[in-house]
C-alpha cells in the first residue's frame, strides 16, 4: 500500500535537505513524498529543485501549516498519510514498523511512535517514551483530553480515510500552531490509536522555539479552550458518561485559564467571552462568577485564576 509523506515547508532552506534525505532512506518500498511550499521567501525552492524527480512539489501563498498539510493530503495518492515537519528526521524503519502495526490492527485508524529531541546541529537532547509520559493505545480520547501525548505530527501514520472523515486539520487562525492537538482529538472521536514503543523520529528544537514567545501562553490557552468547545457536540454524541464528565471538567478549566490569560494580556473582549462561557458551563461556580467580574472590572482579583491561588 502506498504511503504519502507530506512535508509543509516555510522558509525551510536550512534543514529541508536533511529532512528529505531521511524520508528518502525509508526501508518501506512504496512511498511518495509531497512537499508543500507555503510561500517561502528564502531558498527553500532552490533546495527542493535538487530532488526533482524524487518528490512532488506544490506551492501556495503563505497560509500556515494546517493549510499546507491539507493541500498535500488532497493531492496524495496513498492510503496512509504521514505529516513530517521540514526540520525533523525520520529513522529508516519508521514507516515500515508503523505499517506493520496498522496491518496487525485493522480497526485502528492511526499509530504513533516514540521520539527523541535534537538541537539545531542534530545532537540528541533527550529521548521521550512511555517512562516520561503515558502513551495511550486503543481508545485515546481521555488521555488526549488530559494532555496532548502526541508532541508533533511526524510521530503519526494515519489512514487517509480517517483524515478525510474528520475534515483534515482545522485551518482557523485561532488554532495556528496548535492545530495538530485538535486533529488528534477529532481522530480519537472516530477510532483507536496504536502506540508503537520504538523511537523512530527526531523532533528538532530551536533556541527560539515558539514556546519562548511572550504570547505563547495566551495563544495556547485560547487554542485549548477553542478546540474543547469545537468537539462538544461530538463528545455528547459518542462518549460515555464518565468521559463526558471528564470532558466537562477539562472544558471548564480551559475556559477559566483562557479568561485569565486574556485578562492578563489586556484582551478584555476575549476574557469576557470565555468567562461567560464558564458561567454557562457552571452557573453555580464562584470561580466562574469571580472570573467574569474580573474580566469586566480588571482591578478585581489578582493575576492568577482563583482556583490556582
Exposed, middle or buried, 154 (CB in 10 Å: 0-12/13-18/19+)?
Answer: buried
Question: 244 and 103, same structural domain?
Answer: no
List, for residues 71-103, the tens digit of each pLDDT value.
999 999 999 999 999 999 999 999 999 999 999
Query: If you average pLDDT over residues 119-140, what whole number do you get?
Result: 83
Counting the structural domains of the chain, the total is: 2
pLDDT band at 300 (very low <50, low <70, confident <90, very high): low
Boundary of a domain, candidates 183, 211, 239: 211
Residue whose C-alpha is closest to residue 95's, from 29, 175, 142, 146? 29
The CA-based dihedral angle spanning residues 236, 105, 21, 35, taken in that order and rounded to the nearest 10 degrees: -40
Please check whether residues 220 and 196 belong to one and the same domain: no
To the nearest 10°, report the CA torsion of 42, 153, 213, 272.
120
In this structure, the answer to whether residues 15 and 144 fall within a common structural domain is yes
Reported confidence tier of residue 134, pLDDT bands at 50, 70, 90:
low
Residues 146 and 45 in one domain: yes
**Confidence at residue 151, expressed as pLDDT on a 0 to 100 scale:** 84
Give the residue from 181, 211, 241 where a domain finishes. 211
In the chain, % of residues over pLDDT 90: 76
3-class SS at 166? coil
- The verdict on 159 and 25 lying in the same domain is yes
C-alpha 301/C-alpha 160 separation (Å) is 48
| 308: confidence class by pLDDT, cuts 50, 70, 90 | very low
Residue 218: burial class (beta carbons within 10 Å; 0-12, 13-18, 19+):
middle
Q: Are 33 and 113 within one domain? A: yes
Domain span holding position 219: 215-308
Cα 153 from Cα 70, distance rounded (Å): 13
pLDDT tens-digit map of 258-289: 999 999 999 999 999 999 999 999 999 999 99
Query: What is the rounded distance in angstroms from the CA atom of residue 5 to the CA atom of residue 75?
Result: 11
Of the candidates 179, 211, 243, which is a domain's last residue?
Answer: 211
DSSP, residue by residue, 47-65: HHHTTBTTBEEEEE-S--H
Task: Identify whether residues 112 and 156 lie together within a single domain.
Answer: yes
Same domain, 191 and 226: no
User: pTM for this one?
Assistant: 0.88
d(CA 118, CA 116): 6
pLDDT at 131: 61
Q: Are residues 76 and 143 in the same domain?
A: yes
Location of C-alpha cell 511512535:
113
Check if the beta carbon of residue 16 is closer than 8 Å to that of residue 38.
Answer: no
Residues in the chain: 309
* pLDDT tens per residue across span 212-242: 555 777 888 999 999 999 999 999 888 888 9
**Whole-number pLDDT of residue 208:** 55
User: CATH no. for residue 195?
Assistant: 3.90.550.10
Of the pLDDT bands very low, low, confident and very high (cuts 50, 70, 90), residue 38 is: very high
Beta bridge partners of 193: 110, 138
Confidence category of residue 130, pLDDT binned at 50, 70, 90: low
* Distance of alpha carbon 40 from alpha carbon 206, whole angstroms: 19
128 and 101, same structural domain?
yes
**In angstroms, rounded to a whole number, what is the distance separating the alpha carbons of residues 188 and 166?**
10
Amino acid at each position: 500500500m502506498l504511503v504519502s509523506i507530506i512535508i509543509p515547508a516555510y522558509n525551510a532552506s536550512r534543514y529541508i535537505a536533511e529532512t528529505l534525505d531521511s524520508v528518502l532512506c525509508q526501508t518501506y518500498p512504496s512511498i511518495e513524498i509531497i512537499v508543500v511550499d507555503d510561500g517561502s521567501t528564502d531558498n527553500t525552492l532552490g533546495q527542493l529543485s535538487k530532488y526533482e524527480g524524487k518528490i512532488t512539489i506544490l506551492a501556495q501563498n503563505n497560509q500556515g501549516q494546517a493549510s499546507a498539510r491539507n493541500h498535500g493530503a488532497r493531492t496524495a495518492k496513498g492510503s496512509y498519510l504521514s505529516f513530517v515537519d521540514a526540520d525533523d528526521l525520520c529513522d529508516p524503519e519508521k514507516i515500515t514498523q508503523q505499517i506493520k502495526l496498522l496491518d496487525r490492527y485493522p480497526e485502528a485508524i492511526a499509530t504513533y511512535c516514540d521520539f527523541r529531541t535534537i538541537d539545531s546541529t542534530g545532537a540528541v537532547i533527550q529521548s521521550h517514551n512511555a517512562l516520561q509520559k503515558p502513551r495511550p493505545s486503543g481508545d485515546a480520547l481521555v488521555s488526549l483530553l488530559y494532555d496532548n501525548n502526541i508532541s508533533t505530527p511526524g510521530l503519526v501514520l494515519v489512514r487517509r480515510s480517517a483524515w478525510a472523515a474528520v475534515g483534515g486539520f482545522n485551518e482557523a487562525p485561532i488554532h495556528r500552531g496548535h492545530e495538530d492537538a485538535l486533529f488528534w482529538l477529532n481522530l480519537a472521536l472516530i477510532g483507536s490509536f496504536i502506540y508503537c514503543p520504538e523511537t523512530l523520529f527526531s523532533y528538532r528544537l530551536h533556541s527560539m522555539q515558539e514556546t519562548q514567545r511572550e504570547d505563547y501562553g495566551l495563544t495556547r490557552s485560547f487554542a485549548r479552550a477553542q478546540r474543547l468547545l469545537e468537539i462538544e457536540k461530538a463528545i455528547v454524541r459518542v462518549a460515555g458518561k464518565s468521559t463526558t464528565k471528564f470532558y466537562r471538567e477539562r472544558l471548564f478549566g480551559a475556559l477559566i485559564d483562557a479568561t485569565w490569560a486574556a485578562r492578563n494580556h489586556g484582551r478584555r473582549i476575549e476574557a469576557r467571552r470565555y468567562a461567560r462561557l464558564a458561567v454557562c458551563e457552571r452557573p453555580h461556580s464562584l470561580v466562574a462568577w469571580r472570573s467574569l467580574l474580573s474580566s469586566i472590572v480588571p482591578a478585581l482579583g489578582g493575576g492568577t485564576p482563583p482556583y490556582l491561588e
